[in-house]
Amino acid sequence: SGERADHRRRTEVEGWSKRSRVTKETLSESRRALPPSDKIGVVGAGRMGADIALVAAAAGHPVVLYDVRPGAAAQAIAGQAVAMRKAAERGRLDPAQIPVRLERLTAAEKLDDLAGAALIIEAIVEDLEAKAALFIALERLAPSALLASNASSLSISASGARLARPSALAGLHFFNPAT
């Protein structure tokens, strides 16, 4: 039965590989989690971006949050501090976790602050041209980073069509609120 399960998995991977660009090697690579020491960047400090940043910080990652609006990232982190204190008052969060999570969150004033991130998640306006332009800039800034879009109504393939490495762009949708 163990051999049958292995054969079934190999057959699934081989069939999947034929239908897409996924190979056995990339499938194996994709199953690895990012080490907690890997920096995660989040672009867009609205409600969704701020929540995604907090989820990543809660998972142990240093997170850099950026928004084109000056001061928006810092304001979003301050808002998350308030939300965490309320959650702690309701018994939904250990109060000791608040400073730990906040220490992992950094507000960026410029896109260049995301350099060195292993994963960069965009949570900006649902506009194909805006997302495509952002991904081009991110690819230049962090050429080895995995790029992810939180888009819910736009094509991920279209967002990454002009990238040198379109396979480095993935859809990573969070529901609102991201928790």
Structure tokens at 110: 């410029």
Kindly provide the b/e burial profile for residues 73-93, where b requires at least 16 CB atoms within 10 angstroms of the residue's own CB.
bbebbeebbebbeeeeeeeeb
pLDDT digits (tens, 9 = 90+) for 91-106: 999 999 999 999 999 9
In the chain, the amino acid numbered 62 is: P
Count of beta carbons in the 10 Å neighbourhood of residue 32: 7
Specify the pTM: 0.78
Q: What does the pLDDT look like over 65-88, one tens digit per residue?
A: 999 999 999 999 999 999 999 999
